[in-house]
Structure 1
Amino acid sequence: MSGSPLNGGGSESAVPSCPLCRHPAAHFYHRDKLRAYYQCAECALVFVPPEFHLSPSAEKAYYDLHENSMNDEGYQRFLNRCAEPLLERLPPAASGLDFGCGPAPLLARLLEQAGHAMATYDLYYQPDSTVLHSQFDFIVSTEVVEHLADPLRVLQMLWHRIEPGGLLALMTKLVASPERFANWHYIRDPTHIVFFSEQTFQWLAQYLQAELEICAPDVIFLKKQ
C-alpha cells in the first residue's frame, strides 16, 4: 500500500474528491490502525478513501454476520425511533419504499401495519431494482447512507423517486467532533465509509432544495418542496 494516506506516503493531491459534493478540497481528519479519514472542506462529510473500501463480497460477508430479525424487540425499538416521527407526518395510505431493508424488512412491516403500502429494496438481499423506477410518497433508509461509496448518486436517485411534498427519512449517526470521532464505535464497522454531520445535511438540503428536519440525533427528514 505504498504511498497511501495511512502510511504517510501520500500527498494532499492524492486525496479523492468528496463523494457527496464533489469538492476537490479535503483535509486529513483521523487515522486508526486500518484506515485514514478525510473531511470535505465544502460540505463537511468525513469519508474513507476508496483504497480502504471492502470488496462487494467482503462487504456482503460482514452484513451476513448481523443478527437482526423480524421478531427482535430491540431491533423494533431501534427502528421505531424513525418510524414513529415518520408516521406522524405521513398522510393516510401513503406509498413508501424501504431502501436498504436488509434480510429482515421489519421497518416495512411496521409501516404496512400502520396502513401504508410498502416496497422494499436491498442491494444484496432484495436486489429487484424494478421498484426503483416507481414514484413514492416517502422513502425511508435506515443505517444505509454511511455505507455508500457514491452517496450523491444514490441520494439523487432516491430524491427523483419521491413525489412533491414527500419525505426522505434517513437514519445515520452524526459526526460531532474530531475528539469524539477518534473513540466513536461507529467507525469500527469496516463497511461504514462516509460519515455525515448536521452541517453535511444542511448542505444536502440546500443542494436538493429540501426542507431539513433533524428529528433526533440520528433521524433526519428531508421534505420535497
Structure 2
Amino acid sequence: MNCTLCHAPATFFCEDKKRPYFRCTECDLVFASPDSYLNDSDEKAIYDFHENDPNDDRYRQFLNQLATPLLGKLSAGMEGLDFGCGPGPVLNLMMEEHGMSMSVYDIYYVPDKNKVARQYDFVTSTEVVEHFYKPSEAWPQLVGLVKRGGWLGIMTSMFTRELPEFFKQWQYKNDPTHVSFYSPKTMHWIAKQFALDIEIVSNRIILLQRR
C-alpha cells in the first residue's frame, strides 16, 4: 500500500469495525483503505444532512477558531475563497463582515470551475482536507489557489498520538466521509513540499503562507 498523499510506502496501522487504516512511513498521513471510499452519490447524501445556520452562535464560535487568527494576517478588501463551503456557506459571510471580498466553491454545491481557475489573497478550507480521497492531487490544487505571500487557513482535527489504540477510540475517524487524517508531522511535510511557512495554532487550526 502506498500513501495517498506522497506515494511513499505505508504500513497497516489498525482496523475498526468498518475499515482498515494505513500510516505513511514518510509524511505520517493516516488514511482509510481506498476500498472503503464512498461513491459520489452516497458521499453527497451524507453532506446533504449538514445544516449550517449563519445565525447559529455556536457554529460561528466554531468557525471563529479559524477566522480570528486568520483575520489577524489579513487586511480589509482582500479577496478570499472558501474552498469546500458545503451546502450552507457561513464562513464567507463572517469574513465579509470584516471587509473581505469572498467567493465560494464546492464540488457538489457550488461547482463553478471559474472560482478555481484564479488565485486569491487567502483561501479557507474548514473540515475539508480530511475528505480528500486523492490528497496528492487535491493539495496542489488547494495551494495553487493562493497568491504568493497569501494565506491558506485549514481546519481539521489532527491526530497527535502515536499508538493505534488511541486512533481506534478517536471519534473523528468514525465519519465514513473522513478518510485522510493529518498529524503535525504531516502538516510540516506539506509545508516543506509546497514552500509554505506554517503556523500551527491548535490541534485543529493550521495557517500556511505561500512564499
Is 1:176–2:180 an aligned residue pair? no
How many Å apart are 1:148 and its aligned residue? 0.5
After superposition, residues 70-81 of structure 1 pair within 5 angstroms as 70-81=54-65
SS at match of 1:120: strand
After superposition, residues 1-225 of structure 1 pair within 5 angstroms as 15=1, 17-23=2-8, 25-177=9-161, 178-225=164-211
CA distance in 2, matches of 1:51, 1:149: 11
Q: Percent identity?
A: 44
TM-score (ref. length: structure 2) = 0.96
SS at match of 1:211: strand
SS at match of 1:89: coil
TM-score (ref. length: structure 1) = 0.90
How many Å apart are 1:180 and its aligned residue? 2.0
CA distance in 1, matches of 2:188, 2:202: 15
RMSD: 1.0
How many Å apart are 1:179 and its aligned residue? 2.9
Q: Which residue identity lines up with residue 178 of structure 2 in the other structure? A: H
Q: Which residue identity lines up with residue 48 of structure 1 in the other structure? A: A
How many Å apart are 1:68 and its aligned residue? 2.1
SS at match of 2:72: helix
How many Å apart are 1:55 and its aligned residue? 0.8
Contact preservation (8 Å) 2:52, 2:89: no
Q: Specify every segment of 5 or more residues in structure 2 that has no aligned partner in the other structure, as ranges.
A: none
Hey, which bits of structure 1, 4+ residues long, moved more than 2 A?
Answer: none
CA distance in 2, matches of 1:127, 1:70: 21
How many Å apart are 1:30 and its aligned residue? 1.2
CA distance in 2, matches of 1:70, 1:91: 23
CA distance in 2, matches of 1:165, 1:159: 12
CA distance in 1, matches of 2:43, 2:145: 26
